Chains A and B, each alone.
Chain A
Amino acid sequence: MLSRLVRRTHMYLALFLFPWMLMYALSTAVMNHRAYFVERYGSGPIPFEAERTITYDGVFAENAELRTISQQILASLDLDGAHNVSRRKDGAIVINRNDLTTPRRLTYSPADRTVVIERMAHRSSAFLERFHRRRGYATGYRLDTLWAVSVDLVLVAMVFWVASGLWMWWEMKVTRRLGLSAFVLGAATFGFYLMTL
């Protein structure tokens, strides 16, 4: 009964989480070959392209905090979501909206009440890397918190796949010898790297 439960959990968890694992595999490969992409696109930050400029008519409470201002601007433009905000020396407020597919930079100038909206140029490698690095519970947005929970689920699942994989292997007597060889070879190689790198 336990064996059956372990096997089914191993399988169904994998079927549900395969998009996450595929994303982590592809994004890791991209980051592992970063030099190729630097050569292709050049080093330095990804450029932003102008999207539109609007006049913002909203009003802010006196002494409103930056975060309040940024949330109000983003909500009014239907762009609300995880973001960072800062104020430049010239008084302009810069909001970096960490959209997964299309990151945007919004620059609000209080003097003329304009908002310049720019979008980051699309690069598949950068998109995958953003996905890989997206985590944490600190943004204050429910969807981001749910994503962080899903990342935690992936971590737990990975540990479970290791443990249940070992369990299933040990149950198959015919594979024990060759399996042990594979395990020892892998562990020894890993140990060697651990001592030398």
Chain B
Amino acid sequence: MTFSHLNRRVHLYLGLALLPWFFMYAISSIPFAHTPFVEARDVAKKLPMWTLRMDRTIDVNVPAPDARATELRAFGAAILNAAGIHGTSFGVYRQSESQINVYAYSFWKSTQVKYFIPERRFTVEDRRFRWDQFLTGMHARGGFEDERILTRSWSVVVDLVCLSIVVWIGSGVYMWWGLPGHRRWGMAAIVAGAASFLIFTLAL
């Protein structure tokens, strides 16, 4: 097998294996790029975004305002446990001095738990399913903050997709260079693209 052959096969098989991710990133970019349009359509439906499921008090130790991220995360896990929410990814944010929010989410379902510090009370609300949020949630999924192996493995695939894009660029350029009849127009396309991108970079 020659290098050229190997290069073609890597370009192809990597593309086929990661096709669902590549397609997902393309489709899910649409609601990001056209947020006002998507939001306006949803607002027209006049449906509430959140539905209250639980409202109760709980006595827990609240982390100090300057607490480390790990402490805040442990607090979030305890609150989720009290709310009966298990085994999902979550994020914890200090909304204000008197409120901490915990967001539990999967690709299909999102729940927010608001803890009101002075009242030692929390509410649990479920978010209405929306296709655009399903897609943007998948698009934005990543990072290694979550300890669970499954979640981390998704982030490893995200890294693999990033690396693959670089490989597709490199292998694609190599294949193009192997077509002498297309070098001139190909070079024109590269220069035009790079110049346009540079103008955007400097002028935006």
Q: Which residues of A contact B (CB under 8 A)?
A: 8, 11-12, 14-26, 28-29, 31-35, 43, 81-82, 99-101, 131, 134-138, 143-144, 146-148, 150-152, 154-155, 158-159, 161-162, 165-166, 168-169, 172, 175, 178-179, 182-183, 185-187, 189-190, 193-194, 196-197
Give bound CA distance, A151 to B33, whole Å. Answer: 8
Give bound CA distance, A43 to B25, whole Å. Answer: 27
Q: Is the CB of B204 within 8 A of A34?
A: no
Write out, one digit per residue, whether chain B residues 130-143 have a CB within 8 A of any chain A CB (1) or not (0).
00000000000111
A21 CB → nearest B CB, Å: 5
Binds A, one of B15-23, B74-82, B117-125: B15-23
B25 surroundings in chain A (CB, below 8 A)? 158
A17 CB → nearest B CB, Å: 6
A-B contact pairs, 25 of them (CB 8 A): A11-B175, A15-B172, A15-B176, A15-B189, A16-B190, A17-B193, A21-B165, A22-B169, A28-B162, A31-B143, A35-B145, A151-B29, A152-B33, A155-B30, A158-B26, A159-B23, A161-B15, A162-B23, A169-B15, A187-B19, A194-B107, A196-B150, A197-B106, A197-B141, A197-B150
A84 CB → nearest B CB, Å: 15
Give the size category of B's interface with A.
35 or more
Give bound CA distance, A169 to B185, whole Å. Answer: 24
Given A35-B144, A186-B19, check contact A134 B26 (CB 8 Å): no
Given A14-B172, A34-B143, check contact A185 B17 (CB 8 Å): yes
Give 8 closest A-B pairs by Cβ, nearest first.
A158-B26, A19-B197, A190-B20, A25-B165, A16-B193, A186-B17, A15-B189, A182-B16
B58 at the interface (CB under 8 A from A): no
A197 surroundings in chain B (CB, below 8 A)? 89, 106-107, 141, 150-151, 154
Q: Is the CB of A136 within 8 A of B150?
A: no
Q: Which residues of B contact A (CB under 8 A)?
A: 9, 12-27, 29-30, 32-36, 69, 89, 106-107, 141-145, 150-151, 154-155, 157-159, 161-163, 165-166, 168-169, 172-173, 175-176, 182, 185-186, 189-190, 192-194, 196-198, 200-204
